[in-house]
Amino acid sequence: MITLHEYNFANQRALIRVDFNVPLNASLEITDSTRIDAALPTLRKILNDGGSLVIMSHLGRPKNGPEDKFSLKHLVPYLSKALQKEILFSDDCIGHDAQELSEGLRPGQVMLLENVRFYKEETKGDIDFAQQLAIHGDVYVNDAFGTAHRAHASTTQVASFFETKVAGFLMQAELENAQKVLYKATQPFVAIMGGAKISDKIQVIENLLPKVSSILIGGAMTYTFLKATGCEVGKSLVEEDKLELALSLIQKAQELGVKLLIPIDSVVAESFHNDAAHKVVASTEIPKDTMGLDIGPKTVKLFRDVILEAHTILWNGPMGVFEMPNFANGTQEIGRAIVEATQKGAYSLIGGGDSAAAINQMGMAKSVSYLSTGGGALLEYIEGKALPGVLALRS
């Protein structure tokens, strides 16, 4: 795979797939620019080489063609300021006008194509649509790790129309950090798995079991594990069809000598609301009319002690409903423990999605070793799956 440092973009039009799927508020202003900021070093390198940029991305999940709230034109002011460049915006990603604009680019110029997902052909991985996108560049660059697990036209198929395919700085960093955890982890290696469903993390946990010394379970999937071991979990979220699987994971961990730790206490409430009356109970004594919404203080201490002994840490998924302040403490405390362990010399990789959101919310993004931008992509990579967007750069 060719990396950015190995290629000089002088007088080349770089067609680059980025992940600019950023959140916008009601006024269509960017509320979190993390994904755009992460791509800036790659964009600047190409421009500094004397190349020009044709940027393509998706934004949101448009259902039936163009929708103003999903238009990439809303990103132009921020991107222009970040790059200190005029951004030439094309209100279509294919077609005569877009082609004319990209063919006229001079070195140092930047063009932003409209949302590729305004065409259904994008997510279908349509080869003809990919060929129309390929017209815009002399060389293809993929810096969108967050969509690398999707075999879409702009992330995978388009690469087949280029002799030169280059991995951007972000793509390279994401892969190197994921590989560090999977293949070069220093023991003790602790994986912290949160989130709602075991079904989302089965393959991740199974693939990690032979590699880790401890797995700490949090989030709503706690209660599937607890129920599988015979505990009363009240109204807590449970995947009834995954009880046997939960038991088999506990058994596999025991066979491999891995500590699989389930919360010993929980913060419970009678309803799924921030202002609902709540209390801490032992995880084995959850009242029938309540649901678990966060890990309790004893679990925080138990998990913290394990984390502080770790040399390698992987965190994916919150410990509770961290969007609600009354049930955010577990997630925040685990985040603080990871930061403390990192300061002591541990290597910490924070999975994308909610874990990244939590760390960002706490202002600790620069206090961990690496903060991934790819939630689903990172999970699939850790599961051991080949990512189509990465394979396309190697073929």
Active-site residues, by number, are 35, 197, 353, 376
DSSP annotation of 50 reads T
Strand order across the 265-269 sheet: 278-282, 265-269, 291-295
Q: What count of residues does the chain have?
A: 395
Within 10 A of 179 (CB to CB), how many other CB atoms are there? 11
User: What is the number of alpha carbons within 13 Å of residue 312 lying toward its C-beta?
Assistant: 20
Instruction: Identify the H or E element spanning 47.
Output: helix 34-48
Residues with Cβ within 8 Å of 136's Cβ and at least 6 positions away in sequence, in order, are 13, 15, 54, 56, 98, 99, 102, 111, 113
Q: What do you get for the CA distance between the two ends of the chain, in Å?
A: 8
**Tokens, residue 218:** 């949090």
SS3 percent helix, strand, coil of the chain, rounded to 5, is 45, 15, 40
Q: Whole-angstrom Cα distance, residue 373 to residue 350?
A: 9
Instruction: Identify the H or E element spanning 112.
Output: strand 110-113
* String of DSSP letters for 250-318: HHHHHHHT-EEE--SEEEEESSSSTTS-EEEEETT---TT-EEEEE-HHHHHHHHHHHHH-SEEEEES-
Q: Whole-angstrom Cα distance, residue 9 to residue 139?
A: 8
